[in-house]
């Protein structure tokens, strides 16, 4: 328990320290970006697993000795993997939405900031959800499964690894397009 609490505190410090340079922390909150990433991730989980299974998964995180928690470990691992994929896809989709918004306002350069904020923050929120929420939860369930099964250790599916190159490619394209727009302004 102490190591988990220490990991959470360390993660918040590592993220919060650079954010504290010259700006209040709330400037990094964008309601549209939050809505895109969190709502799309939640909606995809609802379409895939319904409401009850993800709710039970969250309950199993907090109460590992709950009735039926051991039997739900493989399903909980799958839900975490799916949520990680959905969050990264929602972040990438939000980046594209923000870039489209930014490009549609090139006539007035003072208005491209909102689109750029959505583009960058949705990617940050998506990657943050994957790396700081869903994958640690997945590894928590895997470690519980390994404790239960000493003879036969199953690591779950590694399909989520297939999305990492697409996240990197999407981020590079977003950065390239952003810099291209800023360096070579197009006029309509």
Q: How far apart (Å, rounded) are the C-alpha atoms in residues 14 and 30?
A: 20
CA-CA distances (angstroms) from residue 142 to 74, 135, 155, 158? 8, 10, 6, 12
Least confident of 19-33, 82-96, 110-124: 19-33
User: What pLDDT, in 10s, does the model give residues 168-181?
Assistant: 776 777 766 666 66
User: What pLDDT, in 10s, does the model give residues 117-137?
Assistant: 899 999 999 998 998 889 989
User: What pLDDT, in 10s, does the model give residues 35-50?
Assistant: 999 999 999 999 999 9
pLDDT exceeds cutoff 90 at 148: no
Sorted by where each begins, the domain ranges of the chain are 29-148+159-175
84 contact partners, CB below 8 Å, separation of at least 6: 129, 130, 134, 135, 138, 160, 163
């Amino acid at each position: 328990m102490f190591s988990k609490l220490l990991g959470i505190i360390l993660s918040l410090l590592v993220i919060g320290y650079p954010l504290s340079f010259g700006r209040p922390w709330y400037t990094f909150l964008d309601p549209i970006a939050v809505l895109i990433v969190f709502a799309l991730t939640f909606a995809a989980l609802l379409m895939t697993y319904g409401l009850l299974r993800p709710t039970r998964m969250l309950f199993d995180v907090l109460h590992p000795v709950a009735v039926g928690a051991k039997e739900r470990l493989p399903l909980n691992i799958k839900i975490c993997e799916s949520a990680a994929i959905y969050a990264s896809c929602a972040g990438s989709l939000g980046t594209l939405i923000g870039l489209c918004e930014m490009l549609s306002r090139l006539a007035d350069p003072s208005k491209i900031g909102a689109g750029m904020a959505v583009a960058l923050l949705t990617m940050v929120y998506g990657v943050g959800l994957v790396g700081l929420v869903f994958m640690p939860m997945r590894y928590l369930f895997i470690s519980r499964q390994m404790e239960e099964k000493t003879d036969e250790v199953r690591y779950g599916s590694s399909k989520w690894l297939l999305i990492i190159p697409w996240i990197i490619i999407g981020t590079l394209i977003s950065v390239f397009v952003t810099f291209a727009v800023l360096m070579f302004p197009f006029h309509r």
